[in-house]
Amino acid sequence: MVGIFAGLTGAVVVVVLFYFTAWAKDPAPAIKVDATPIVRDAKAVTSFAPVVKKAAPSVVNIYSTQIVHLRRYRDPFNNDPFFRQFFGDPSGQGNGNQTGRTRREQSLGSGIIISPDGYILTANHVVEGMDEIQVAIPNSKQQYTAKVVGADPPTDVAVLKIDATGLPAVTLGESDQLEVGDVVLAIGNPFGVGQSVTMGIVSALGRKVDDPDQGYSIQDFIQTDAAVNPGNSGGALVDSQGRLIGINTMIKSSSMGSEGIGFAVPINLARSVMDRLISGGRVSRGYIGIRMQDVDADLAQQFKLPSQNGVLVDDVLPGTPAEKAGIKSGDAIIEFNGKKVDDENILQLAIYQCAPGSDATVKLIRDGAARTLTVKLAEFPVEVAQVKTVQPAPASTNADAFDGLDGVTVAALDRQARLGLSAPARLQGAVITSVNPSSNAAEAGLQRADVILEINHQLVSDTDTFAKLKQQAGGKRILVRIWRRDGDDDGTRWLTVDNAKK
């Protein structure tokens, strides 16, 4: 299965710059908000026509145009199978080279009027890189040229402005009040056939989409089975009272069409981004400077945690707010600013939504005891890339599997090895030269070129220390801390290895 933006493509590079336009500061829009909870014990209705009549006039069609200079023709859109599926090869020339020409690339999407004076919310990928953006108002022959007030790629949110007044603005709802099972309607312009409405329910909340093509992004998606297709991107997801609760942005599909798994950016997150884009043209985010991983049952036991809820700190980057606050590798963060932390995505969102320079309270567990620290957040640096999640190797089916770390051979982390791994000078440990594929170590996820830093909380300074600690390791599980380079990225991680033969 692949993640595909509902209107355009589905890829973001690992490092994304927060960018903004050169337009002067815009006045704050007049927004209508209705946070009244939904009445969930009401009788079933036979028609949603009144809801559609209320919300649909606020959903616009967006036609974007990019001028492609064909001095050397290499169409990045046409190289994407998603575009070839729906738009074909616009050049008629395959992937050959052409010179001395330009071509107009056109795409379509949707948007939502959020104020009578012309502010429009849409998905960033609908308008990103486009030279001209036209907005068509439903049930009207009027079409306007729009400017981009600001855009935020990590949340896939963009704000447009058209020169108009008296527009039918949508009423914003409260996405934090949503529950799985709530009825929702998706309104947009799928496949360019014209405004269409589909109905479904909220299938899940707080979704993070694992996609190999995605890099740094901020995800807290509403998942819905309301049909969403190409052209729906930037369109409205409304509740049963016609209030905007999300911006449709992505589908999960193997056929490039709706398969009942669509995703929308919650309106609370989109509104927070929108307010900062309108007031300052950019979005600044909090940063504390840690690498982290989710907690499984084995790690919870090894670190004396009461449950699997929380995030384990893999590494604390030097000179960062986390280091200054006293956060250490091996700490398990269970609360951030009074909000419970169940997993890595929740903590990332909580940090990103804090203003740089503000103080945050961090509740953590260290050596089985709870502590509360205060950290002063910095601004998220654009050069910091998201650490890729390391997936453990598949379980071995060999009945003669090695116990503990017996299947691992190591060598000294000498100058040559350090250069080959591009390992930092501060790193001390033993580098793995091979892992028997039938070993418990391989099953746990240890790999060749990993550097073993700790065994059961004891430092590995060289190969002799590794051999000594390996022999001393007792108990059912061995806790191992490693450093790993993954492409252009690197970081530490905790793994647990079965210490008994199968």
3 state SS of 141: coil
Strands (E), 352-499: 359-366, 369-376, 378-379, 408-412, 430-435, 451-455, 458-459, 477-486, 489-498
3 state SS of 40: coil
Q: At 71, which amino acid appears?
A: R
**CA–CA distance, 186 with 263 (Å, rounded to integer):** 11
**CA–CA distance, 359 with 354 (Å, rounded to integer):** 9
Residue 198 CB partners (closer than 8 Å, separation 6+): 185, 186, 226, 227, 228
Half-sphere exposure of 395 (CA within 13 A, CB side): 4
Q: Give catalytic residues, as residue numbers.
A: 125, 156, 233
Helices (H), 257-385: 267-280, 297-302, 321-325, 344-352
Helices (H), 135-183: none
Residues 321, 294: contact at Cβ < 8 Å? no
**CA–CA distance, 403 with 409 (Å, rounded to integer):** 14
**CA–CA distance, 247 with 224 (Å, rounded to integer):** 12
Instruction: Give pairs for 275-280: CB < 8 Å, separation 24+.
Output: 275/28, 277/20, 277/149, 277/150, 277/151, 277/152, 277/157, 277/159, 278/26, 278/28, 278/29, 278/119, 278/149, 278/150, 278/159, 279/25, 279/28, 280/20, 280/25
Residues 413, 428: contact at Cβ < 8 Å? yes
Would you say the C-alpha torsion 265, 268, 270, 272 has a positive or negative sign? negative
Q: Tell me which H or E stretch contains 56.
A: none
Q: Tell me which H or E stretch contains 106.
A: strand 102-113
Q: At 303, which amino acid appears?
A: F
